[in-house]
Structures are given as structure tokens and as C-alpha cells.
Amino acid sequence: NAGVTQTPKFQVLKTGQSMTLQCAQDMNHEYMSWYRQDPGMGLRLIHYSVGAGITDQGEVPNGYNVSRSTTEDFPLRLLSAAPSQTSVYFCASIPGTPPYEQYFGPGTRLTVT
Amino acid sequence: RKEVEQDPGPFNVPEGATVAFNCTYSNSASQSFFWYRQDCRKEPKLLMSVYSSGNEDGRFTAQLNRASQYISLLIRDSKLSDSATYLCVAMDSNYQLIWGAGTKLIIKP
């Protein structure tokens, strides 16, 4: 199993550009989520999904869209990048049965200039 | 008030010492608790789940006190490789994970 994969690992955007961060998992986990992590802060939930076709907002959803057309994929779209979105983005998945260990992708480091 | 609070540190500890981290959570409905370890510029990795009865894994011991809404992590005989940031996490009944900001640990030779 590859676990949770994310692409790209690094990205630089100009203000106003849009892009999609890709996330995929091959563990058949129903629950997937996107976090951002800023220096000195904990992980903050952007959006999450409890299964294909179902998404919901987390703590900091503004400026981001998600979709979940398959169990495996959960892309995060930045609509119009802003410098405040400079951060490290982690995608994660959780199995539906205990222990509810969260499996993380390696992260995407995004810089918006 | 943050829902999960941790001392940010850093904790500077000599190799071989015992170090304890504490974490408090505000949501009494939280059902599951975890300690994650995060190395610099890497993704968090599960260190251990925290059970009501307390649990131990080698040099690591985790405790949960539901009455005080308090979680702890004890590391004995600390190693240089234990240097990392330790994240406390609470999960509610909707599978929502609330993360603490982490405690940075630096083990010195």
C-alpha cells in the first residue's frame, strides 16, 4: 500500500492564481480530511469528507473547495490564492473502525507571493 | 479558550532524563485521545492512543483523566531521537479531531 499520497510537494503561486492539491489513499478509508499547519500553530481543519459524495467544512474553509467523487481521491482547490494561504497542507484519512489512527500524506508546502 | 491546550515549550532535557507533557481538553464529549509525534517539516505520525486505564509502550506512558479532562505523556530514559514536537489530539463523537498546537522537545547530549 502507498498509504496517503499528496502532490505536489512544493508549489509557489502568485496572488490570484488557482490550483488543485491532489490527495489519494489506497486503504479504502471512508473519512478523509485536509489540514493546514502554520508555524507555531496546531493543525487546522479546512474540509473533510465522511465518504464519496459527501463533504463538509472544517474550521477554516474560506478560499478552498473540495470534492469527493471516489473513495480514493480528495482534491483541495484554491480558488484565488492569497498570501495568507501560505502554509503546509496535509491530507489525512481515518479508518472506520478503531483504533482511529489518522494517516497523513507527506504534505504540500505552498507559498503565495 | 483553545479546545486542546498544550505547553508550547520548548522543553530542553538532558539525554536519559524523564520528561512529562500535559494536555487539557475542553470538550467533555471527546471520546478518543491520541499523542502524535511530528518531526521538523514532516507529517505527524501516531505515537500512541490514550486509554482510560492508561497505557504503556516501551519508554512511553500515556494517561487519561476524564474527570479533570487531562491527558499526559511520560517519556523515560529520553534519547536524542526523541527530539520532536508532540501533539495532543482529542476526537469527538463525529470523528472530528481537535489538535493541540504541540510541545517542542529538545533532547541534549
Q: Identify the pLDDT of residue B1.
A: 56
Residue type, B74: L
- Please tell me which of the candidates B32, B46, B101 has its beta carbon nearest to residue A42: B101
Alpha-carbon distance A76 to nearest alpha carbon in chain B (angstroms): 17
Q: Identify the pLDDT of residue B26.
A: 92
Mark residue A53 as left, alpha or beta (left: phi above 0; alpha: psi -120 to 50; beta: remaining): left
Residue type, B12: N
> Roughly how many angstroms between the first and final C-alpha of chain B, as a whole number?
37
- Cβ neighbours of residue B41 under 8 Å, at least 6 residues apart? A88, A107
Is B49 near chain A, with CB under 8 Å? yes
Q: Are A47 and A67 in contact (CB under 8 A)?
A: no
Mean pLDDT score of chain A: 94
User: Do residue A31 and residue B95 have CB atoms under 8 angstroms apart?
Assistant: yes
Q: Enumerate the residues of chain A whose CB falls inside 8 A of the CB of residue B87.
A: 42-43
> Of A16, A43, A45, which is closest to residue A33 (Cα–Cα)?
A45
Q: How many CB pairs under 8 A join A and B?
A: 49
Find the mean pLDDT for residues B58-75: 94
Mean pLDDT score of chain B: 91
